[in-house]
Amino acid sequence: MNILVTGGCGLAGSFAVRHAVEQGHRVVAFDIALKTDLLTDVLDRVDLVRGDLTSAPDIMRAVEEHSVERILHTASFLTGAAFERPYAAAQLMVMGTLNVLEAARTLGVKRVVHVSTGKTMATGAQYAKSAGTGGIGISPDPYTSCKVAAELLCNDYAKLYDMSVVIIRYAQLFGPGYDFAGGSGKAIKPVVEACLRGETVTMSAEEASLFSTPPGQRPNRSLSPSGLLYAKDAGRAGVLAATSDRLTDSVFRIQPMEALTMHGIAERLMRIIPGGQIEVPDGPDPGGPVEPDARAKEQFGYVPEYDVERGLREYVGFLKTGRYEAIA
């Protein structure tokens, strides 16, 4: 099967490309910046295409020239960058999604899988509750606003043109890489680096809460657990959703194996890094296992394979060596 992955050199996109290659698919990694830190060992089996999703001809040309049958659309601004540049974020996340959908409609792509976020559920509910009150009771979050708009476009195209358009909503993502980790990864990375240097890390309650709090919003001072999804699970889920022939629904949650506070993450890091010292306040709820999405499990066989510690071991290994290696 010919699969095009937008954002194919990003965090989730790179792991989607890797999984698709391992499954024997022909894969096109479409990205505006061809960073291949996570793809070095599979590059001979990947077609790299530099392109800009805000340019409809770029994506249409890639789809046509590579006879693409399925598109996995992972390309996106990260949360912090969307706060800094909301206009550019909307161009990529809204108009870019529209360009993907239009290319699929025009060129007969059999399925589009759009990667969204679990935050759209809460934002949608808040919007519906306050929309008729004379105001909108939602804190500013350009990232999630763009994802809501993109989900609505996916619904429009699916129903207007009888297209197979699937939405998968990721939990918070983390994984290896230098500059394309999600918000949680960016918060965890300096802690890991300090431990590797042999430094003691002391975090206040506010600092510990930031790893699960979007920029521009108040920190989650309750230190409640946050579900962290390892990028390898995320990428695999995207490919499974793109290739399954058993889908009866169109929206799925991609859940991690467990939810932890920063205290729980610190405990695991100290087991991984000899001599690492991280002092962080404990939360009242230590977290625990997360139930997988029943529809995702039934319809395309997704259940997470990575707990946080296993994912962190691969993350730490990458930061030590500069190359990705899977850990069994």
Most distant CA pair in the chain, distance: 59
Q: Hey, which bits of the chain come out as E strands? A: 2-6, 26-31, 46-50, 70-73, 111-117, 165-170, 172-174, 200-202, 226-230, 251-254, 258-260, 277-279, 287-289
pLDDT tens digits, residue range 281-321?
A: 776 677 788 999 999 999 999 999 999 999 999 999 998 88
- Which pLDDT belongs to residue 102? 98
pLDDT tens digits, residue range 89-133?
A: 999 999 999 999 999 999 999 999 999 999 999 999 999 999 999
- Which pLDDT belongs to residue 217? 47
- Which pLDDT belongs to residue 181? 56
Look at residue 28 and give its three-state secondary structure: strand
**Mean predicted confidence (pLDDT) in 39-51:** 96
Question: Which two three-digit tokens encode residue 212?
Answer: 């699960």
Confirm if 6 and 72 have CB atoms less than 8 A apart: yes
**What are the sequence ranges of the domains in the chain?**
2-176+228-259+289-306
How far apart CA 12 and CA 30 sit, in angstroms, is 13
- Which pLDDT belongs to residue 179? 59
- Higher-pLDDT residue of 207, 223: 207
Closest among 315, 313, 309, 209 to 262, alpha carbons compared: 209
**Mean predicted confidence (pLDDT) in 19-48:** 96
Confirm if 139 and 217 have CB atoms less than 8 A apart: yes
Can you count the helices (H) and strands (E) in the chain? 13, 13
Residues with Cβ within 8 Å of 62's Cβ and at least 6 positions away in sequence, in order, are 4, 28, 30, 49, 51, 68
Q: Which helix (H) or strand (E) holds 316?
A: helix 308-321
**Checking DSSP bridges between strand 70-73 and strand 2-6, what pairing results, if any?**
parallel
Q: Note the pTM of the prediction, 2 decimals.
A: 0.93
- Which pLDDT belongs to residue 203? 83
- Which pLDDT belongs to residue 218? 45
How many other CB atoms sit within 10 Å of the CB of residue 318? 18
Fold of 2-176+228-259+289-306: Rossmann fold (3.40.50)
Residues with Cβ within 8 Å of 328's Cβ and at least 6 positions away in sequence, in order, are none
- Which pLDDT belongs to residue 42? 96
- Higher-pLDDT residue of 5, 263: 5
- Whether 216 has a pLDDT exceeding 50, the answer reads no
**Mean predicted confidence (pLDDT) in 225-230:** 82
